[in-house]
Structure 1
Amino acid sequence: MNNIRKIAIFTVMILGTLRAGGLGKGPRTHLAQLSAKEVVLGGKDGWEEFASSKNVTTGTGRFGYPAVELAPNAFEADEDTDLLIDFENAVNPISNGNYHINKNLLKRSDQTKLEKFAGLARGNGGLSVSGRPGTFFGSEGLTGSFTLEFWLCPSVAENGEIVFKWESSKTVSNQLIYQLLNASFNKGHLEWSISNLFDDDINPFTSHDIILKGRTTLVPDSWSLHALTYNSENGCLEYIVNGVTEDLLYHTSTGQEGGEVSLIQLGTPSEVHFCPEYTGKIDDIRIEKRPYKVQGFQSAENAGKVGHTLYVPQGGSFISKPIMVSTGSKLNSLTAEMYAPPQTAVLFYVRSGENYYNWTDTYPEWKPVESGKDIQGVTGLYFQVCAELYPDGSGENSPSITQITLDYYELPEPVPPFVVNAVAGNGTVTVSWNYSVDDTAGGYYVYYGTRPGEYLGRMAVEGDSPINVGNTTSFTLTGLENGRIYYFAIAAWSAYDDRVVGKLSREVFARPLARLK
């Protein structure tokens, strides 16, 4: 694992009673050595890919190291997303949608409202894309509901600056009709100009030219969320800023809600221009094939209004991949290097087990722990960590985690016996050995087989190799074939956990014979 370091720190001496008496003489009191180690997640080596995560990203934490923090409340593509441009990819700002780039003169800026990057326009042409067949702006003919939405942060908001522009033409009664969808600044407000966008045969009562005016004064160097949306169910064409309706009209036969609704009729597919004559930043441009859907959450200062906070109040979380240590390891503590502004919170959970392949979201059970506090009852071959991050009440501040350190005790593998002998008999072999000099040895395994170094025996009456013979120094295997040579080795298992087995002793051999007693 690239980002997980295992470092031996020191040796702890623990008084225990595994067997009494002197070496090789039954029960006695002794000292057992447990090795204290640590696993580091994050830190200067960065964070590995998580087993799962939600609403989190990486930023800069303590000492300039990568830190896990809440992801800004950005758009996420779904089945209705026609186009999503979020500027996170340095090569291609389009993260979703069947569109291709014709021209991109936008730069990336890290001064953003959402995620890590925004697009920076300097009034020199912006970004132009074309939709492939099946996309909203890549198709010709009647279409239904749509929403065009984006974050905007103008530098000057000068009159005439164009943020969005689409031009095309359609044929009506054998005449070529010009179409326009344009958003530009007028006296500090964004204004939408719409020409010949709808099916005129169905709705002859509404003007072919539509103006939707914004009421919110757009302040330079301040972010705001803009949406132009049309609902084909009720004919409502609406301009929304920061979740609040600025202007609307009903494109129906009555000019009001009710009556016959006309559909949008697009002409020849053509380029879509973002920021062609605009200076400032733009982010998370999205086209949806559905009416407007509130993407934000209510903030404390805007209670009762529809707002958009930087971080969702539900927060975010991540779960590490299972971390392999050694069988029977005991987790002592979790210590996090983190930053938690007032009202924010970070919660930690751990779990463990010997085999993670049968783990589910709830099994083994997650145990809540606190950073720097002792942990009890978490042992196993694998550890796993979960962290939950929560923003403050305003949704404007996020906690961050730079590093997580897991301190644990690792059960050492007991040393094998130094002296091993094998004596053959009639269809039998008696193997004997001295007690291990290692105080952690609680018992022994006898390994046997018919080839040197391969202990795959299955013929002894006492069982298949290896045989757990308990805390003894002699064992006889019966039912062996006379005249055949057998090879043996001994390994000690830990008195703390018999699943922890040490290395094999030196190999010995013997050949049972019928003439032997």
Structure 2
Amino acid sequence: MKKIIFLFVVLFFILNQIFLRADDAFIGFGAIKERSWGGIVRDWPSIFKMSDVVKVRGPRGMLGIRLSDNFPEVKDNTELLLHFDQVSFGRIMVDGSSYSLKYSDVYPSINIKVMGDGACAFQHIGSSIELTPREVAQFYPGKKLGSFTLSFYLYPTMLFDGETVISMLAPSIRFDNQLTGFKLYFKDNRLKWSFLNIFNNRTGGFNENNREISIEEVDPSPIYEWHHHLLSYNADRGIMTLFVDGKISAIKWVTDNGKEDGTILDGRLDNSLTVPLIIGGNFVGYMDELLLSRGAKNTDKEVKDGRYRENGEIVSDVLQFKTGAVKIAKIKWDSVEKNGTAVRVMYRISDNYFLPDGNVQKKETKDFHKTDAGMRLRNEPEWKMAKNGHILEDKGRYFQWKAVLYGTNGMYTPILKSLNLYYEEDLPPSKPILLSAIPGDSKVNLKWVSNKEDDIAGYRIYYGNYSHNYFGKGSNFGDSPITVGNTTSIELKNLINEKVYFFSITALDKSGQESGFSKEMIARPSKIYEDQ
């Protein structure tokens, strides 16, 4: 009974393996080869371009591909940009032309960050960055306050009332030594902006309703979490808007009655505000990607706070197979696709070379024609969508693949962990078997065995007057070598009697590949064969 059970288990295992490997079966009889990208031990070689994607290290050193960080970029309206990628005690990289670094005692954060190489760590009360505004800056003393947007990522590690994140405050004689300027601080665990003695009525005066203009976020800020915060002020409409993680959190009308139908207040920085813009000072936590720019953002669609690009792609070089044409067996990849993200792999293959990127011409020519995708070579193959691990039967000599990564609302990215290409080589034909070289009068009749390969296009006849030197001339078919069709015999005429000739043949396939030389045979034409 035990033997029967054992045999049954063995049989079940064998059958199970057969069915499990059914998907890995290939059609044809060539050698199966593999080219691989990514994974634990491989890099991503032979890549033509990477657009909005980056390499990323994963578990056990796995080198995958994900969408690029959605870095803020310096533009014409950028006043200040702090990536916090190069932070050291006393030094910090400042992008933008409106501010210069005056003082810094913050620390780099390599592990706790949103994007890039690092973030900024405010490790204790008093840790701060001080930036001096230049005359072109929005927050320069005595300047009329125009539309602006200020955004950043914040990761608090403790919260208390009065914890100040950003400030630019100074006492003013004009206001009886009261403070003027602005600050961003925590109150009841919520971020609150306060503008003091900045917005006045159109006559230049202040009243009690507009000495302090404040706006605060609706929801409390959690600790130990990254969130994106943005303040937008539209001077033309007289409105302040707070966004948290790309969504509107609060709106404040900067008018004499605090309503939309009120008269817009005039914002102006006092001449006494000759202090630096301070980041931190009374905040404990982390900050990343601070951006101050001219101009306002009024709707959710204008605020793209996503951590990742919306989509990107990695495109291989045009790969040429050494053995000539091959048959693609399948393309298989390993990816992580969560929260609506996706990886789509496409490929194209041709017997003729094509450019890795066809968008290189602007005008139609005899070689280029206009398509929906731009100017393309007329013989350029179209992209085909691949299904992960599905059997393919496309043939060609030149191959290219690309993977398109789609994120979800800028908050999530897929990861392409590895990609494997399996293909079936079209091997050169085997050496043909030359059966006989029968001499005649000024001629030799050659016979050989037909090759068994199903893609034989013909044969090539080599002849000459020295062994393995096949440079013969003058036959009725021309000089050596002679290419003939898929036949098994040929009669070479116009040869010189009593002169020795050496013969060898090769086989040719439809991909243009040539076999090795057959066994050499020798024949000497002669007049004595004139009756044969």
TM-score interval for Structure 1 and Structure 2 normalised by the shorter chain:
0.5 to 0.7
Q: Is the counterpart of residue 325 in structure 1 residue 321 in structure 2? A: yes
Partner residue of 1:39 out of 35, 39, 47: 35
Partner residue of 1:383 out of 400, 425, 448: 400
Higher strand share: 1
Equivalent residue number for residue 3 of structure 1: none
Number of equivalences: 445
Q: Is the counterpart of residue 278 in structure 1 residue 275 in structure 2? A: no
Equivalent residue number for residue 511 of structure 2: 498
Partner residue of 1:66 out of 33, 40, 63: 63
Equivalent residue number for residue 25 of structure 1: none
Amino acid at match of 2:426: L
- Other structure's SS at 1:385 match: strand
Q: Is the 8 A contact 2:239 2:253 kept in 1?
A: yes
- Other structure's SS at 1:356 match: coil
Q: Is the counterpart of residue 346 in structure 1 residue 343 in structure 2? A: yes
Q: Is the 8 A contact 1:73 1:296 kept in 2?
A: no
CA separation of 1:76 and 1:375: change in aligned 2, threshold 3 A: farther
- Other structure's SS at 1:278 match: coil
Amino acid at match of 1:220: I
- Other structure's SS at 1:34 match: coil
Equivalent residue number for residue 408 of structure 1: 423
Q: 1:421-446, CA deviations, whole angstroms, 9 ceiling, x for partnerless residues? A: xxxxxxxxx9x998898957633579
Partner residue of 1:334 out of 331, 334, 340: 331
CA separation of 1:35 and 1:62: change in aligned 2, threshold 3 A: farther
In structure 2, C-alpha distance between the alignment counterparts of 1:252 and 1:500, rounded to whole Å: 85
Amino acid at match of 1:325: F
Q: Is the counterpart of residue 250 in structure 1 residue 258 in structure 2? A: no
Q: Is the 8 A contact 1:254 1:260 kept in 2?
A: no
Q: 1:250-309, CA deviations, whole angstroms, 9 ceiling, x for partnerless residues? A: 257998556466355586887433223311121221112210255679xxxxxxxx9977
Amino acid at match of 1:339: V
CA separation of 1:463 and 1:316: change in aligned 2, threshold 3 A: farther
Equivalent residue number for residue 30 of structure 1: none
Q: Percent identity?
A: 20
In structure 1, C-alpha distance between the alignment counterparts of 2:305 and 2:390, rounded to whole Å: 37
Q: Is the 8 A contact 1:162 1:275 kept in 2?
A: yes
Q: Is the 8 A contact 1:442 1:493 kept in 2?
A: yes
Q: Is the counterpart of residue 289 in structure 1 residue 294 in structure 2? A: yes
In structure 2, C-alpha distance between the alignment counterparts of 1:141 and 1:442, rounded to whole Å: 83
Amino acid at match of 1:182: K
Equivalent residue number for residue 452 of structure 1: none
Equivalent residue number for residue 231 of structure 2: 228
Q: Is the 8 A contact 2:107 2:120 kept in 1?
A: yes
In structure 2, C-alpha distance between the alignment counterparts of 1:444 and 1:170, rounded to whole Å: 98
In structure 2, C-alpha distance between the alignment counterparts of 1:441 and 1:255, rounded to whole Å: 85
Equivalent residue number for residue 194 of structure 1: 195
In structure 2, C-alpha distance between the alignment counterparts of 1:463 and 1:197, rounded to whole Å: 97
Q: Which runs of 5+ in 2 are unaligned?
A: 1-25, 360-372, 374-379, 435-443, 464-475, 495-503, 520-532
Q: Is the counterpart of residue 85 in structure 1 residue 82 in structure 2? A: yes
In structure 2, C-alpha distance between the alignment counterparts of 1:150 and 1:256, rounded to whole Å: 28
In structure 1, C-alpha distance between the alignment counterparts of 2:432 and 2:277, rounded to whole Å: 79
Bigger Rg, which one: 2
In structure 1, C-alpha distance between the alignment counterparts of 2:392 and 2:321, rounded to whole Å: 17
Q: Is the counterpart of residue 210 in structure 1 residue 209 in structure 2? A: no
Partner residue of 1:158 out of 160, 172, 178: 160
Equivalent residue number for residue 425 of structure 1: none
Q: Is the 8 A contact 2:128 2:279 kept in 1?
A: yes
In structure 1, C-alpha distance between the alignment counterparts of 2:301 and 2:417, rounded to whole Å: 28
Q: 1:359-383, CA deviations, whole angstroms, 9 ceiling, x for partnerless residues? A: 4375632222222211132533222
Which has the larger displacement, 46-55 or 65-74?
A: 46-55
In structure 2, C-alpha distance between the alignment counterparts of 1:477 and 1:129, rounded to whole Å: 94
CA separation of 1:386 and 1:240: change in aligned 2, threshold 3 A: closer
* 1:78 CA drift (Å): 5.1
CA separation of 1:221 and 1:369: change in aligned 2, threshold 3 A: same
- Other structure's SS at 2:399 match: strand
In structure 1, C-alpha distance between the alignment counterparts of 2:38 and 2:513, rounded to whole Å: 29
In structure 1, C-alpha distance between the alignment counterparts of 2:62 and 2:315, rounded to whole Å: 20
- Other structure's SS at 1:386 match: strand
* 1:148 CA drift (Å): 0.5
Equivalent residue number for residue 457 of structure 1: none
Give the 5 Å matches for 1:125-204: 125-130=127-132, 136=138, 141-142=143-144, 144-166=146-168, 180-195=181-196, 197=198, 203-204=203-204
Partner residue of 1:365 out of 357, 382, 385: 382
Q: Is the 8 A contact 2:333 2:419 kept in 1?
A: yes
* 1:231 CA drift (Å): 1.0
* 1:403 CA drift (Å): 0.8
In structure 1, C-alpha distance between the alignment counterparts of 2:426 and 2:95, rounded to whole Å: 50
Q: Is the 8 A contact 2:37 2:418 kept in 1?
A: yes
Higher helix share: 2
Which has the larger displacement, 329-338 or 339-348?
A: 339-348
Q: Is the 8 A contact 2:201 2:265 kept in 1?
A: no
Q: Is the 8 A contact 1:75 1:295 kept in 2?
A: no
Amino acid at match of 1:193: S
Q: Is the 8 A contact 1:353 1:383 kept in 2?
A: no
CA separation of 1:384 and 1:247: change in aligned 2, threshold 3 A: closer
Equivalent residue number for residue 513 of structure 1: none
Q: 1:371-398, CA deviations, whole angstroms, 9 ceiling, x for partnerless residues? A: 221113253322213233455xx98654
- Other structure's SS at 2:405 match: strand
Q: Is the 8 A contact 1:295 1:308 kept in 2?
A: no
In structure 2, C-alpha distance between the alignment counterparts of 1:204 and 1:253, rounded to whole Å: 16
In structure 1, C-alpha distance between the alignment counterparts of 2:237 and 2:78, rounded to whole Å: 21
CA separation of 1:317 and 1:201: change in aligned 2, threshold 3 A: same
Give the 5 Å matches for 1:383-462: 383-391=400-408, 398-414=413-429, 442-443=457-458
Equivalent residue number for residue 112 of structure 2: 111
* 1:214 CA drift (Å): 1.6
In structure 1, C-alpha distance between the alignment counterparts of 2:493 and 2:262, rounded to whole Å: 93
